Amino acid sequence: MLSAFVNSFKIQELRQRILFTLGVVFLSRLLSSIPIAGVDYGMITNYIKSSAGQGTGGFLDMFNLFSGGAVENCAVGALGIMPYISASIIIQLMTAVVPTLEKLVREGESGRAKITQYTRYLTVVLCAFQGFLIARALEAGQLYFPAEVVRIPGLGFQLLTAMTLVTGTLMLMWFGEQITERGIGNGVSMIITVNIVSRMPSAVSAMINMFKPVDGVQRHSFFMAAVLLIMVLAVIALVIAVTQAQQKIPVQYAKRVVGRKVYGGQHTFMPLRVNYAGVMPIIFAQAILMFPAKIFSMMPWPAAKQIGAALGYGTVPYMISFGLMILFFSYFWVATQFNPVQIADDLKKYGGYIPGIRPGTSTAEFLDRTMTRITLAGAVFLTLIAVLPTIMGNQFSIPYMISSFFGGTSLLIIVGVMLDTMRQIESHLLMRHYDGFLKKGKLKSGRR
C-alpha cells in the first residue's frame, strides 16, 4: 500500500490532481476558522476552552462535527456544505414526482445542467433561511454561547450574518465542484470528510483525558480502553464489509449475427448493493426527529412537555423512533432510486436476460423481490451503526465527540469517501501499469 502512495506522485496528472485537492481542502478549512463579523471572538475562545468535551450529541453537536468545528468557532463556514446536500436531496426526490424535472433528467447534459442550476438556487434559499435563524439564535444566546458574544445586536447584524453564511456555503460548494472536476474524488463528500476528520485530534485528546485519574480516582479502567480500541476497529471493518457487499445477479446476452459480425453472447452480472441507500436514511431520520421534541416542549400543556422530554436525544423512545425511521427511509430511498421495471425493459431491449427468469414483467418482479430482501439487511445494519454512538454515550458516559467515531453518520461518510477516493487513485495507477493498493485483486466497485 505504501508503494501505491509513492507511485501516485510519480504520475504527473495524478500528482497534480492530488496537490490541487489538498490545496482546495486547505482553503475550505480556513472558512471554519474565520469568525463572523460582529461577534466577540475572545469570549468565544474562552467559552470553548471552559466547555471543551461537554457535547451531549444533540443536533447542534452533529452539525458542528460536519462543519469541522465552524459552529463552535462561530465561523464563516458555520453552515458547512449541508445546505447544498439538502438542496440536492430535495431536487433528486422531486425528480421522481415532478414530470418537468423528470423530463430534464432524460435530456442529457443540458438537462443535468438545468437541474444543477435549480439546486444552486435552492441552496441559496436554504442558506439565507438558516443563516437568519443562526443570527437570531446568537443574539438570544440559544447556541453554544451566551448572548453577550454579539457586540451590536439588531437587524444589521442579522442581515450581515445571513449574507456571510450564505457566501461561506457557496464558496464551499464551488470548492467541491472544483475538486470533482480537477482533483480526486467527489468534492462535496471530500469536504465533509475532511471536516469530520479534523475533529479527530480533539476526540483523541478527550479520550486520553477520560482515562486520566481525577483527584486520585480512576474514572475508567484501562481494560475499557482496550475494549474501545478493539470495538472501533471491529466497527470500521464491519462498515467497510457492508459498504462493499453486493448481490451479483447473473445476466446473459443472446447472440445476434449482423452481417459477418456476432454481437452479444456475453455472460456478466448485475451488482445490487446491500447498503443501496448509503447514509441518506440516517440523515433523513435525524433531520425529522430534531423537530418533534422542540415543538412539544414549546406547547403550554404538561402532557405535551412530557412527550417532548420523552423524545429528547438519547432517550429510549427517541432511539426506537430513530431506528424505525431509518428502516422506513431505507426502503423509501430504494423505491425512489431503484426502478426494476426500467431495468427489466433495458435488459429486454438489448437482448439480455436473467437465466431462469422470463424477460419483462417476471424479471422486474424478481429484481424487486431480491432488492427488498437485501435492503432489509442494509437497513438493519444502518440502524445498528446509527444508534451505537447514542448507546455508548448513555451506557459509558462517553462524549459525543468520541462516540461519533464509533459509528453513526460520520463513520459511514468517512469509509465511503475513502473507498471511493482509493478506487479513483487505483484506476489511474492501473492505467499506467502500476500496482494498486491491493496486490491481489482490486477494490470492489459498485459499478462493473
Q: Tell me what pLDDT residue 70 has.
A: 82
What are the chain's domains? 8-198 (1.10.3370.10), 200-406 (1.10.3370.10)
**Residue 277 near residue 378 (C-beta atoms within 8 A):** yes
Report yes or no: 318 and 311 within 8 Å, Cβ to Cβ: yes
- Please tell me the predicted confidence (pLDDT) of residue 160: 92
Residues 6+ apart with CB under 8 A from 261: none
The reported pLDDT for the residue numbered 441 is 46
Question: How would DSSP label each residue in 341-382?
Answer: HHHHHHHHHTTEE-TTS-TTHHHHHHHHHHHHHHHHHHHHHH
Helix (H) or strand (E) holding 248: strand 246-253
**Terminal CA-CA length for the chain:** 23
Contact 442, 21 (CB under 8 A): no
From 422, 413, 414, 418, select the one nearest 443 (Cα to Cα): 422
DSSP 128-184: HHHHHHHHHHHHHT-SSS-GGGBSS-SHHHHHHHHHHHHHHHHHHHHHHHHHHHHSS
pLDDT tens, N- to C-terminus, the chain (448 residues): 667 677 777 788 888 888 999 999 999 999 888 888 888 877 777 766 565 545 545 566 667 777 777 887 888 888 888 888 888 888 877 887 788 888 887 787 888 888 889 999 999 999 999 888 888 888 887 666 777 788 888 888 899 999 999 999 999 999 988 998 888 888 888 888 888 888 888 777 777 777 777 776 666 677 777 887 888 888 888 888 888 888 888 888 777 666 666 665 677 888 888 888 887 788 778 767 777 777 777 777 888 888 877 777 778 888 888 888 888 888 888 887 788 888 888 888 877 888 888 888 898 999 999 999 999 988 888 888 888 887 877 777 777 777 777 767 778 888 888 888 888 888 877 776 666 555 544 555 444 4
Q: Computed over its alpha carbons, how large is the radius of gyration of the chain?
A: 24
- pLDDT the model gives residue 124: 93
pLDDT value of position 446: 44
* pLDDT at 436 (0 to 100): 59
Q: What's the pLDDT score for residue 238?
A: 86
pTM, 2 dp: 0.77
pLDDT at site 168: 92
Give the sign of the dihedral formed by CA 367, CA 370, CA 372, CA 375. Answer: negative
Does residue 176 contact residue 27 with C-beta atoms inside 8 Å? no
